[in-house]
């Protein structure tokens, strides 16, 4: 039995929809794309196309939903990440725009247009304007968890679903216990953070309170010093969140 | 596997101001493979504890859908343990004072560790 949720090759409706979009025939383009999405609901490119059409129509909320749907199909889809960055830029949320572009740069490190956009967004942000912290936003790359490994709020970032966030929380609690134990037994005192660096991501785990910790996840292009400075502010925000919950 | 080369790598790492010592660890079983200038630390403890933390860090990376861990840094109020992945399951681990030149050390370990094999 064949799988009809995603086509084997780039289908003609995708080209047709894109041509109509470029000609400014947005309603027709949307109709074609939505028909394609109905037939191939897990095909990332068609949701990306819908996102671009809706963004052209000025429907930012609809475009955002379409691009988030794209990331559910393909967590590192550069078009969707760039689209979400564009929407953030349009609402002058330069921190969010930078975060999405960093993720896009990690997915497509040779795409100079992304790096150029990243430079532009960074230059737009006022020198002293700190990145906004939203503990409850699942795409903010901030995951608050309790010491039993249960997720309290947040998520791993764009393209990572709740199941992955729950799995990360479950493993992070054990890692925090071992970090605390290692620091104590080696005579290093209280642990402050555990930084994990790989080719695709930088992750920091920090204690927030005796019963809670925070996992912060950023692309590998994120400067380590800035990541830790942000993490320090995020811990304060998490403590406030815990106090209010 | 070349102990003389390991010694040179460890000497380079411990030459950085604030580094108390450096060891080559087999992360799978937490054993010391080679060590240098570890002041006031039980190297077997360092190896065992560092390897546990590294494995836990790898679990987080796997659960998050990330690629393998290259560098793992545990920072505490009185110092830092930093582990860089080498070849054949070996990790280069350094233990430092709190005022170490961490930026320089992490770059150096990242360069040195792949030469462990």
Q: Name which of B64, B72, B78 is nearest A188 (Cβ-Cβ).
A: B78
Beta bridge partners of B19: B96
Final residue of a domain: which of A65, A94, A124?
Answer: A124
Distance from CA of B115 to the nearest CA of A (A): 18
Residues of chain A with pLDDT below 70 are 1-10, 126-130, 158-159
Cβ-defined contact of A197 to B73 (cutoff 8 Å): yes
Residues A237 and A157 in one domain: yes
In a domain, A131, yes or no: no
Instruction: Indicate yes or no: CB of B75 within 8 angstroms of CB of A195.
Output: yes
Helix (H) and strand (E) counts for chain B? 3, 5
Q: How far is B113 from chain A (nearest CA, A)?
A: 14
Residue with tokens 């050390």: B105
Predicted local confidence at residue A3, as pLDDT: 45
Kindly give the pairing relationship between strand B31-36 and strand A151-154: unpaired
Q: φ, ψ for residue A9 (rounded to 5)?
A: -125, 170
User: Touching check for B107 and chain A: CB below 8 Å?
Assistant: no
The Cα-based distances of A175 to A13, A188, B3, B89 in angstroms read 48, 17, 31, 20
Is it the case that residue B14 has pLDDT exceeding 80?
Answer: yes
With a pLDDT cut of 70, the percent of chain A lying above it is: 93
Asked if the C-beta of A216 comes within 8 angstroms of chain B's C-beta atoms, the answer is no
Query: Could you tell me if A203 and A162 lie in one domain?
Result: yes
Q: Does residue B87 lie in a domain region?
A: yes
Q: The CATH number of the domain where A166 resides is what? A: 3.30.450.30
User: E strands, B1-117, where?
Assistant: 19-26, 31-36, 69-76, 79-85, 90-96
- A24: burial class by Cβ within 10 Å (0-12, 13-18, 19+)? exposed
Q: Judge whether B117 lies within some domain.
A: no
Q: How many domains does chain A have?
A: 2
* Chain A residue numbers touching B61 (CB-CB < 8 A): 196, 198, 201, 203
Q: Is residue B116 domain-resident?
A: no
* Chain B residue at shortest CA distance from A225: B103
My answer on whether A22 and A92 are in the same domain is yes
A148 and A83 in a common domain: no
A112 and A170 together in one domain: no
Residue written as token pair 């030149």: B101
**Which domain covers residue B58, as residue numbers?**
3-111
B46 in reach of chain A (CB within 8 A) = yes
Same domain, A107 and A17: yes
Q: How far apart are CA A95 and CA B19, in angstroms?
A: 36
Say whether both A117 and A176 belong to one domain: no
Among A98, A124, A150, residue at a domain's last position: A124
The helix or strand, by DSSP H or E, that contains position A209, with its residue range, turns out to be strand A202-209
Amino acid B54: pLDDT: 95
- Residue ranges making up the domain that contains A34: 12-124
Same domain, A166 and A237: yes
CATH number of the domain bearing residue B60: 3.30.450.30
Query: pTM above the 0.80 mark?
Result: no
Find the helix or strand (DSSP H, E) in which A161 lies.
Answer: none
Instruction: Tell whether A137 is covered by a domain.
Output: no
CATH number at residue A61: 1.25.40.10
- Report pLDDT digits (tens) over B39-96: 788 899 999 999 999 999 999 999 988 878 999 999 999 999 999 999 888 999 999 9
Is there a domain that residue A47 lies in?
yes
B78 inside 8 A of chain A by CB: yes
Does any domain span residue A38? yes
8 Å CB contact of A191 and B76: yes
Q: Which residues contact A31 (CB under 8 A, 6 or more apart)?
A: none
Say if A196 falls within a structural domain: yes
If we measure between CA atoms, which residue out of B15, B1, B43 comes closest to residue B104? B15
The verdict on residue A133 lying in a domain is no
A160–B65 C-beta distance less than 8 A: yes
**Given A74, A91, A124, which residue is the final one in a domain?**
A124
* Residues contacting residue A154 through CB under 8 Å, at least 6 positions apart: A135, A136, A137, A138, A140, A142, A143, A144, A165
Q: Look at chain B and report how many structural domains it folds into.
A: 1
Contact A194 B50 (CB under 8 A): no
Task: Check CB contact of B63 with chain A, cutoff 8 Å.
Answer: yes
Residue B12: per-residue pLDDT: 86
């Amino acid at each position: 039995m064949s799988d009809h949720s995603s086509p084997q090759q780039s289908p003609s409706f995708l080209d047709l929809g894109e041509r109509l979009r470029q000609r400014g025939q947005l309603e027709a383009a949307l109709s074609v794309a939505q028909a394609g999405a109905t037939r191939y609901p897990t095909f990332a490119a068609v949701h990306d196309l819908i996102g671009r059409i809706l963004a052209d129509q000025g429907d930012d909320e609809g475009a955002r939903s379409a691009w988030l749907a794209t990331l559910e199909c393909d967590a590192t889809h550069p078009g969707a990440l760039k689209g979400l960055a564009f929407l953030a830029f349009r609402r002058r949320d330069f921190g969010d725009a930078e975060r999405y572009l960093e993720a896009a740069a990690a997915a497509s490190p040779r795409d100079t247009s992304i790096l150029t956009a990243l430079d532009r967004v960074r230059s737009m942000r006022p020198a002293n304007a700190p990145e906004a912290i939203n503990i409850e936003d699942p795409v903010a790359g901030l995951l608050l968890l309790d010491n039993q490994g249960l997720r309290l709020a947040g998520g791993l970032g764009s393209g990572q679903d709740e199941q992955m966030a729950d799995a990360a929380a479950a493993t992070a609690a054990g890692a925090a216990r071992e970090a605390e134990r290692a620091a104590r037994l080696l005579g290093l005192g209280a642990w402050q953070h555990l930084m994990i660096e790989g080719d695709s991501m930088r992750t920091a785990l920090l204690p927030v309170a005796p019963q809670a910790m925070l996992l912060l996840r950023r692309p590998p292009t994120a400067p380590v010093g800035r990541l830790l400075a942000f993490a320090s502010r995020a811990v304060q925000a998490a403590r406030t969140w815990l106090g209010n919950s | 596997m070349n102990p003389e080369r390991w010694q040179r790598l460890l000497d380079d790492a411990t030459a950085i101001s604030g580094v108390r010592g450096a060891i080559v660890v087999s992360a799978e079983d937490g054993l010391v493979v080679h060590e240098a200038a570890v002041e006031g630390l039980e190297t077997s403890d360092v190896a065992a504890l560092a390897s546990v933390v590294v494995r836990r860090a790898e679990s987080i990376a796997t659960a998050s859908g990330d690629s393998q861990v290259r560098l793992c840094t545990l920072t505490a109020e009185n110092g830092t343990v930093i582990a860089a992945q080498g070849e054949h399951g070996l990790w280069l681990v350094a233990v430092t004072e709190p005022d170490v030149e961490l930026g320089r050390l992490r770059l150096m370990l990242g360069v040195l560790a792949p030469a462990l094999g």
